Amino acid sequence: MRRAISTLLAVTLIAAVALSTFTSIFILSQRRASTSVAGLDRILDYVHQHEVTRLAAVVLGEVIRLKNLGSKPVELEYLVVLDDAVRVIKLSSGDPCESLGVDAECSHHVGRGNLLVAITKSGVLVFPEKIEFEAPPSEATVIIPIVFSFRNLNDLGKEFDIDPELIAKPYPGGSGKRGITGKTVLILPRGREDEYFNEYVTTACKGTKDNRVPFGVLVVGYDPSWLKEQLTNSTAPPRFSILLSGPKMTGQEKLCTSKEVLPLTEQGFRVKIHNFTGTIRVFDESGNVIACSSSTPGVCDNIASAVGVWYYGTVLKWSVYIDGVASYLGYYQRAPSGQGQSVSYEPYLFLGDIDGNGVVDIIFISEDAHYGSVSAINDTDDLSDYSTEPLKLVLLRVGYELGYPDGSIDGSKYAGVTLYLNLIFHDNSYPDESQLNDIDRTDWVMRILLVDEKGNEYIIREYRYQEICNYHQTLVTNTDRSKYFTKVSQSVYIPIPSSGKYWIVVAIQDPYYFEKSGSYYINDADITVGIEIIGVVPFMR
């Protein structure tokens, strides 16, 4: 019996030991599992914090700019910088980088060295994403090209935010009533405009003697639409854009379309022909072809190109032959301006590549036919035009390229920009040696302006007549060797105030009508101002 009891006790003890062993093993394993789970929680929390906390770092010399790109505000405590050794910078309370809202930015002077990591108050390590990491192979910079490759003035107007009224077509009684005036103004009478595909245009009208017409000024350029088409179809035959202006004619000179005859008479005229496929020949006094351009290969042989600007055709007895098809023809006629009536810049603007380098030039030309000295009104009083207000082109492209949809430049980010301009200039004061006597009122023909958000304008650089007139030759008879003008390269630095938004504006005007001084006619220049390309280099603050 006793043995039985002792056996029972022994068994109970064994069972208890076994049970407690099992239990302790069980409890231990339980504890371990719960420890792991708690650890996992913290890791998940860290991962979450880590993932939602994102900083961009922009290195600007010894200053680092941090931007919170994450979805939650960030409270930073330390910045770890690798100099020669690792340095830990504790952010003092009140430091702008201590607390960063979503999308907020701050700057911190870290000195020399590289920011490795930022540590938040909750201990999360944030590796800033360096936007300008190592400023990759610095063999180039940013030069924003601004070109004028637009098929028409409407598209150009949109890109440069030009006042539409200043470039609207000057229909009688219609729009386009601001910009230019004079004794007469150029208007586009109803019915004198043809917008057809492949309309026949020629100076070789039936019954004309020599198939060509005199001209005052002739501008021939490659048409912007052809330059564009060439990008995808390099074999497309060249198309041209033509501007023809002239004084009063005898009535025998005609331009013909398939439907009508346009006599070049009245009070002076301008003709705009766009998208022209055909042949243009310029003839000298003796009837020799001095220049020729054609859409058909072989037509012009080795004669010099007609692409360019040709002045004083009627004075020099030069003439032009035009024959082909065009998609637009506008025939502007001079009409008395009456009491201060003006017209838009539209008849005075030309878009086309006038030097054959594939870049569209924008040209403002108030010259029509004549040159003159102090003893005459340069373009005669009928044709002497002048601006009543400048034509302003806003260089929105600069802001667009810098990432601002309103085309502005942020003064807090950019300290300035440099403009490089390739310009052309010509005027009709002759001889060139006495142009400063003929034009003695100092006035500007091109201005670079900075405009703020309130519309205040700051003049940065003026190209005054008295400076820019030195770059051209008014009268050229030997056109294959001598040049009316060559492209003038100019650079202009524009400082930008440190806060606010700014726009760069290029303004153009013809400031001269005429003034009588004793028996002299002075301040009577008509001009040609053109821009081919503007390059803009932004400078960061």
Q: How far apart are CA 488 and CA 475, in angstroms?
A: 18
CB 404 within 8 A of CB 290: no
Q: Quick one: which of 462, 471, 500, 520 contacts other proteins (CB under 8 A)?
A: 471
Q: Quick one: which of 232, 250, 288, 339 contacts other proteins (CB under 8 A)?
A: 232
> Which listed range, 304-312, 325-333, 377-385, 481-489, lies at the site for other proteins (CB under 8 A)?
481-489
Dihedral, CA atoms, 367, 373, 377, 379, nearest 10 degrees? -20
63 binds other proteins (CB under 8 A): no
- Kindly tell me which of 166 and 531 has the beta carbon lying closer to other proteins: 531
Residues 490-519 binding other proteins (CB under 8 A) are: 491
Least distance in Å: CB of 75 to other proteins? 20
Q: Quick one: which of 296, 486, 498, 517 contacts other proteins (CB under 8 A)?
A: 486
- Kindly tell me which of 364 and 425 has the beta carbon lying closer to other proteins: 425
36 binds other proteins (CB under 8 A): yes
- Kindly tell me which of 11 and 86 has the beta carbon lying closer to other proteins: 11
> Which listed range, 17-25, 201-209, 236-244, 335-343, lies at the site for other proteins (CB under 8 A)?
17-25
What is the dihedral sign for C-alpha 40, 44, 45, 46?
A: positive
Residues 142-201 binding other proteins (CB under 8 A) are: 142-145, 147
What's 260's DSSP letter? -
- Kindly tell me which of 97 and 531 has the beta carbon lying closer to other proteins: 531
List all residues 6 or more positions away from 229 whose beta carbon is below 8 Å from its beta carbon.
236
Least distance in Å: CB of 357 to other proteins? 5
Residues 39-58 binding other proteins (CB under 8 A) are: 39-40, 43, 47, 50, 56, 58
Name the residue among 105, 56, 101, 139 with its Cα closest to residue 412: 105
- Kindly tell me which of 438 and 532 has the beta carbon lying closer to other proteins: 532
Least distance in Å: CB of 481 to other proteins? 6
CB 179 within 8 A of CB 170: no
Residues 347-376 binding other proteins (CB under 8 A) are: 357-359
Q: Quick one: which of 209, 231, 297, 454 contacts other proteins (CB under 8 A)?
A: 231
List all residues 6 or more positions away from 250 whose beta carbon is below 8 Å from its beta carbon.
265
Q: Quick one: which of 350, 484, 503, 514 contacts other proteins (CB under 8 A)?
A: 484
Instruction: Concatenate the DSSP letters of all residues of 413-434 into one string.
Output: TEEEEEEEEEEEEEE-BSSGGG
For other proteins, how many residues bind (rule: CB under 8 A)?
Answer: 85
List all residues 6 or more positions away from 254 whose beta carbon is below 8 Å from its beta carbon.
203, 205, 208, 213, 261, 262, 263, 264
- Kindly tell me which of 12 and 442 has the beta carbon lying closer to other proteins: 12
Residues 441-460 binding other proteins (CB under 8 A) are: none
Q: Are strands 55-60 and 129-130 parallel, antiparallel or unpaired?
A: parallel
117-146 footprint of other proteins as x/- string (CB under 8 A): ----------x-xxxxxxxxxxxxxxxxx-
Q: Quick one: which of 235, 481, 499, 518 contacts other proteins (CB under 8 A)?
A: 481
> Which listed range, 89-97, 274-282, 390-398, 485-493, lies at the site for other proteins (CB under 8 A)?
485-493
Residues 398-417 binding other proteins (CB under 8 A) are: 401-403
For residue 30, what are its two tokens? Answer: 């339980």
Q: Residue 155: helix, strand or coil by DSSP? A: helix
Q: How far apart are CA 233 and CA 200, in angstroms?
A: 24
Least distance in Å: CB of 531 to other proteins? 11
Q: Quick one: which of 233, 456, 478, 499 contacts other proteins (CB under 8 A)?
A: 478
Q: How far apart are CA 112 and CA 101, in angstroms?
A: 27
472 binds other proteins (CB under 8 A): yes
Q: At CA 245, angle to CA 178 and CA 277, rounded to 5?
A: 110
Q: Cis peptide before 336, with omega less than 30 degrees from 0?
A: no
Instruction: Concatenate the DSSP letters of all residues of 288-351 into one string.
Output: -EEEEEESSTTSSTTPPP--EEEE-HHHHT-EEEEEEEESEEEEEEEEE-TTT--B-SGGGEEE
For residue 200, what are its two tokens? Answer: 């026949």
Q: Quick one: which of 23, 154, 296, 412 contacts other proteins (CB under 8 A)?
A: 23
CB 349 within 8 A of CB 362: yes
Q: Quick one: which of 17, 24, 28, 34 contacts other proteins (CB under 8 A)?
A: 34
314-343 footprint of other proteins as x/- string (CB under 8 A): ------------------------------
> Which listed range, 160-168, 199-207, 228-236, 516-524, lies at the site for other proteins (CB under 8 A)?
228-236
